[in-house]
């Protein structure tokens, strides 16, 4: 694969360095460096993300029942995913094998609420400015405010869809952020009838709006199919959880991986055995580890997780309209798996629809307000793994807990880490497609960011989405002298300075 060769340039000292730091609409820990020669030919492209591994140390030494709540501090964007992955592990630690039917339903409800909330933030707030206004539109307007002006209906729906997701979380976890809901062995709270009625009254509208958003993405695709199909397109393996009948399962299930052609690499791997099939590699240039499929090895064994992987790893989605939409999307590939980076957006909306339909089905379940919340306790365990499909992809939590109830070991592989290599491959492809041989401009650099944002790296910061974070691009020669310095300020204005 030619893109892989761009991981490390053969003679980096002779090249000019472009750094995109930080990546906008991704919280300030993402940085891209590009090495170019005199003719602007691209020799090396790397995405560096500073992953906060210190968090695992923070968990060690704490009592196990605290972890599902305290681990939510890891991530302000999808805290519920961490809450539930940790709760799944701590169920086993505390000695609970099976939850009561109601407790599992409520956890799923909470989880699907998070899926709706997170996917809505990503699509409407972070991605729609690029998609609707154009990758090379005026940067000062390329944000949700610009969308609000030009596409007020879409922007308003986005706000309401997101709020619906938040309300599902509140109804099950007690609060919209940093709730408690799941406890080892079950749930601490039943769904109230009032909340059920309130959510049921809104869910059909959310479903309809989501279908509308899918149609819009479909129409965009029709305008430039070649562009959308091949932007940042890199063939790769795919990983996700499926249930016993092969349907996608976001809360439970076993691990399945397919290769780039769609052939199954492994299937029915219990989440607790993830280390049998996956391993993590450290690279000297990145703080973040590179997980890959063990049997294939670190070079070719990287995989994608998240919406685009999930909808293709599974055999079907269990909800009707979402499965129909999945089929429409897959039809674009004409029977071959889709690997274009921008398909993430379309797939994400299909998942948003699926999550909303699952929420509706749960709300229609006559026993959803039942109060059998805690299971019967069995034998206490000392080691457990909890895996869940977080909005951005597979999320692994592994713990060891001592006799005294304190955590002695913690390993987390978050979705963004799983996608580390995939994102690197995508931006290398984009660099080759759009930057190679060109004078570097802000719109061209935004193409790189568009590819990263499609994966929705977990550092995405919804609260910063309104303003552009400063972007700095430095061209540095082999002696480290700054040749030119292009800056995009907080106001979106671009200034350029060339030291004399």
Q: Is residue 464 a contact point for other proteins (CB under 8 A)? A: no
Shortest distance, CB of residue 178 to other proteins, whole angstroms? 4
The residue length of the chain stands at 500
Q: Is residue 498 a contact point for other proteins (CB under 8 A)? A: no
Q: Pick the binder of other proteins from 12, 61, 101, 378 (CB under 8 A).
A: 61
Q: Is residue 181 a contact point for other proteins (CB under 8 A)? A: yes
Options 100-108, 169-177, 336-344, 458-466: segment touching other proteins (CB under 8 A): 169-177
Q: Is residue 268 a contact point for other proteins (CB under 8 A)? A: no
Query: Residue 464, annotated ligand binder?
Result: yes
Shortest distance, CB of residue 70 to other proteins, whole angstroms? 3
Place of tokens 């986005």: 158
Q: How many residues bind other proteins (CB under 8 A)?
A: 26
Q: Pick the binder of other proteins from 68, 158, 340, 492 (CB under 8 A).
A: 68
Options 296-304, 381-389, 402-410, 453-461: segment touching other proteins (CB under 8 A): 402-410
Shortest distance, CB of residue 374 to other proteins, whole angstroms? 9
Shortest distance, CB of residue 61 to other proteins, whole angstroms? 5
Q: Is residue 211 a contact point for other proteins (CB under 8 A)? A: no
Query: Residue 354, annotated ligand binder?
Result: no
Q: Is residue 378 a contact point for other proteins (CB under 8 A)? A: no
Q: Is residue 179 a contact point for other proteins (CB under 8 A)? A: yes
Options 64-72, 203-211, 281-289, 471-479: segment touching other proteins (CB under 8 A): 64-72
Q: Is residue 195 a contact point for other proteins (CB under 8 A)? A: no
Shortest distance, CB of residue 67 to other proteins, whole angstroms? 9
Nearer to other proteins, 33 or 70 (CB): 70
> In the range 71-110, which residues lie near other proteins by CB under 8 A?
72-73, 94
Q: Is residue 406 a contact point for other proteins (CB under 8 A)? A: yes
The pair of three-digit structure tokens given for residue 70, joined into one six-digit string: 């305290």
Shortest distance, CB of residue 388 to other proteins, whole angstroms? 19
Per-residue three-class SS string for the chain:
CCHHHHHCCCCHHHCEEEEEECCCCCCCCEEEEEEECCCCCEEEEEEEECCCCHHHHHHCCCEHHHHHHHHHHHCCCCHHHHHHHHHHHHHHHHCCCCCCHHHHHHHHHHHHHHHHHHHHHHHHHHHHHHHHHCCCCCCCCCCHHHHHHHCHHHHHHHHHHHHHHHHHHHHHHCCCCCCCCEECCEECCCCCHHHHHHHHHHHHHHHHHHHHHHHHHHHHHHHCHHHHHHCCCCCCEEEEEECCCCEECCCCCEEEEECCCCCEEEEEECHHHHHHHEEEECCCCCCCCEEEECCCCCCCCCEECCHHHHHHHCCECCCHHHHHHHHHHHHHCCCCCCCCCCHHHHHHHHHHHHHHHHHHHHHHCCCCCCCCCECCCCCCCCEEEEEEEECCEEEEEEEEECCCCEEEEEEEECHHHHCHHHHHHHHHHHHHHHHCCCCCCHHHHHHHHHHHHHCCCCCCCHHHCCCCCCEEEEEECCCCCEEEEEEECCCCCEEEECCC
Shortest distance, CB of residue 252 to other proteins, whole angstroms? 22
Options 173-181, 342-350, 444-452, 470-478: segment touching other proteins (CB under 8 A): 173-181
Q: Is residue 184 a contact point for other proteins (CB under 8 A)? A: yes
Shortest distance, CB of residue 402 to other proteins, whole angstroms? 8
Query: Residue 222, annotated ligand binder?
Result: no
Binding-site residue numbers for Ni(2+) are: 75, 78, 458
Residues engaged in binding other proteins (CB under 8 A): 61-63, 65-66, 68-70, 72-73, 94, 173-175, 178-181, 183-184, 188-189, 402, 404-406
């Amino acid at each position: 694969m030619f893109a892989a060769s761009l991981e490390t340039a053969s003679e980096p000292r002779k090249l000019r360095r472009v750094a995109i730091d930080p990546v906008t609409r991704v919280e300030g820990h993402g940085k891209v460096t590009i090495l170019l020669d005199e003719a602007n030919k691209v020799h090396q492209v790397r995405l560096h993300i500073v992953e906060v591994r210190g968090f695992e140390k923070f968990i060690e030494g704490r009592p196990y029942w605290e972890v599902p709540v305290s681990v939510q501090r890891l991530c302000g964007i999808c805290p519920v995913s961490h809450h539930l992955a940790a709760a799944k592990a701590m169920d086993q630690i505390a000695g609970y094998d099976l939850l009561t039917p109601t407790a599992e339903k409520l956890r799923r409800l909470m989880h699907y609420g998070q899926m709706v909330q997170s996917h809505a933030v990503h699509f409407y707030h972070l991605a729609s400015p690029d998609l609707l206004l154009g990758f090379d539109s005026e940067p000062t307007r390329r944000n949700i405010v610009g969308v609000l002006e030009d596409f007020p209906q879409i922007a308003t729906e986005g706000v309401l869809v997101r709020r619906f997701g938040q309300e599902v979380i509140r109804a099950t976890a007690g609060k919209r952020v940093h709730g408690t809901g799941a406890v080892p062995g079950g749930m601490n709270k039943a769904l109230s009838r009032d909340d059920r009625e309130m959510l049921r009254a809104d869910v059909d509208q959310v479903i309809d709006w989501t279908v509308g958003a899918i149609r819009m993405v479909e129409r965009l695709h029709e305008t430039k199919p070649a562009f959308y199909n091949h932007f940042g397109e890199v063939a790769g393996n795919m990983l996700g959880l499926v249930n016993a009948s092969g349907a996608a399962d976001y809360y439970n299930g076993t691990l399945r991986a397919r290769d780039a052609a769609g052939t199954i690499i492994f299937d029915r791997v219990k989440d607790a055995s993830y280390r049998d099939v996956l391993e993590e590699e450290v690279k000297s240039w990145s703080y973040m580890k590179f997980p890959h499929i063990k049997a294939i090895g670190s070079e070719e064994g990287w995989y994608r997780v998240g919406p685009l992987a999930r909808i293709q790893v599974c055999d079907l989605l269990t909800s009707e309209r979402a499965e129909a939409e999945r089929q429409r999307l897959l039809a674009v590939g004409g029977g071959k798996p889709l690997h274009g980076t921008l398909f993430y957006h379309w797939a994400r909306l299909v998942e948003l629809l699926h999550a909303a339909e699952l929420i509706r089905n749960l709300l229609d379940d006559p026993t959803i307000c039942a109060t059998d919340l805690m299971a019967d306790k069995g034998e206490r365990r000392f080691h457990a793994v909890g895996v869940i499909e977080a909005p951005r992809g597979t999320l692994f939590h592994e713990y060891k807990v001592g006799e005294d109830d304190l955590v002695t070991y913690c390993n987390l592989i978050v979705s963004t880490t799983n996608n580390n290599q995939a994102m690197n491959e995508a931006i290398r492809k984009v660099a080759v497609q759009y930057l190679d041989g060109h004078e570097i401009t802000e719109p061209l650099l935004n193409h790189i960011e568009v590819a990263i944002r499609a994966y929705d790296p977990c550092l995405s910061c919804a609260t910063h989405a309104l303003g552009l974070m400063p972007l700095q691009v430095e061209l540095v020669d082999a002696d480290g002298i700054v040749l030119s310095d292009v800056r995009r300020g907080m106001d979106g204005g671009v200034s350029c300075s060339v030291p004399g």
